[in-house]
Amino acid sequence: MKRIILTSLIALCALSCAKAEPLGPGVSVDKQGNLKIDAPLYIINDNPENPGLKQADASLYRTVSVSLYAGDDVGSPLEITGGIVNGRLSITIQKPKEDQYFRSAASFFSVPKDVFKTGSDTAIGEIFMHAVDSDDDYCWIRLYSNPIVKFLKGIDIGSERDVFDVDGGRHFYYYSHGDVSISSRVEKRSQYNNFTWREDYNIDLKQGWNVIRTEELYDEAVNADVFTMTSDKPSTDAVWVLLSW
């Protein structure tokens, strides 16, 4: 009897641990299906000689807005609590309602249905997260693995303004109403300038919250940019970054 009880407890613990698996640094899903983030926030150290990231000062407070993006349109804001508090991203994003703006996975990713293993018609949406500063300017909040800050002198079109960019793997959070699986390469061409590129998908979404890593690389073998989208969990060095302009 003791052996049976012990086996049951181990199985229950394994199931609980699997459900509690985080989706990134400080990211988890509560029992109500809400996405919770409580993690340090980093900002760009804008020194052209030695650009990098530094942890936000504890005096930093910002209102945060989160919207559900569905491929080409941003829907109404999602309900949230919290924001940027004491230099940390401390926020709870409510589980989206059924009537909020979603699109089918095939439409969202703009790929044929026949490249899907499952879920081409499943409704999904991606969250866009912004902070609002005192001048009502919006600033992205994004999660990066292996982040590298690059100084780009006079890069703005029509101006000589110097800007800083962050390179590395970017992670985006999705809400899915069912399972979606894609493992395929899709060649694409712009109808405006005849530019070609390739998109590599290795995506497995489950019902609820998911995270996808995206990265852009140049593949000399095919002489084209390659955009990769994978369901990899963020690495241990991943950080939340506030990007202002």
Q: How far is CA 106 from the centre of its chain?
A: 19
- Which among 199, 228, 201 is positioned nearest to 215, based on CA atoms? 228
Residue 52 burial (CB count, 10 A): 13
For the ranges 64-78, 82-96, 114-128, the lowest mean pLDDT is seen at 64-78
Residue 106 main-chain phi, psi, to 5 deg: -65, -40
At residue 4 the predicted structure's pLDDT band, cuts being 50, 70 and 90, is very low
- The pLDDT of residue 168 is 87
- Which comes out higher in pLDDT, residue 142 or 226? 142
Q: Is residue 181 a contact partner of residue 118, using CB atoms and an 8 Å limit?
A: yes
* 21 pLDDT higher than 70: no
Average pLDDT, the chain: 83
pLDDT tens-digit readout, 157-203: 556 667 788 888 999 999 999 999 999 888 877 767 667 778 899 99
Instruction: Tell me how far apart the alpha carbons of residues 108 and 125 are, in angstroms, rounded to a whole number.
Output: 8
DSSP reduced 3-state for 88: strand
H runs (alpha helix) in 59-192: 105-109
Would you list the domain boundaries of the chain?
A: 25-243
- The pLDDT of residue 142 is 94
Instruction: Tell me how far apart the alpha carbons of residues 67 and 96 are, in angstroms, rounded to a whole number.
Output: 10
At residue 206 the predicted structure's pLDDT band, cuts being 50, 70 and 90, is very high
Percent of the chain with pLDDT over 70: 79
Q: Is residue 122 a contact partner of residue 172, using CB atoms and an 8 Å limit?
A: no
pLDDT tens-digit readout, 48-79: 888 899 999 999 999 999 998 876 666 668 99
At residue 136 the predicted structure's pLDDT band, cuts being 50, 70 and 90, is low
Mean pLDDT of all residues in 206-216: 93
Copy the structure tokens of residue 69: 């993006």
